[in-house]
Structure 1
């Protein structure tokens, strides 16, 4: 019996319904001006890859679903506050686990 190694594309398909912190950052930033490249830059993607990553993320199932939602300024502010709280909690976890350099 042969064991088939799961390729990169299969892993992406398996995770298409998982909201990661990086994807959430992109979504929040994308709502600001609907510019994928700038949203990718603001969410932490290096400048060399921002255009490509932004275009790829815009096609991601979770991002597409989020883009169908109409949000107003109040919702945008709530999203930004929630994201800041998540990042704060991530920093606490990194400190506890001694992972500040990661």
Structure 2
């Protein structure tokens, strides 16, 4: 999975830096709304692609996820990508998952 430029740590709707516990414990739909994340499912055939993030100029996020992805994988990857974008320390992903950060 690929993450572009990290998002500013505090989007306009969020007053303080989010915590690891908040990103792990809050229901995912609530997190996506809170941090202005749009999600699109793409018909990607490569099972090695689990997701990607694009940070827009306004600080909102776009997550590209593989169509038909198992719910548990989607949940884990989305939370990891959100943590990376917001610069929140998150637990290591289990093997074989990893985040790759690309800067513009």
- TM-score, L = length of structure 1: 0.23
Which has the larger helix fraction?
1
- TM-score, L = length of structure 2: 0.23
Which has the larger strand fraction?
2
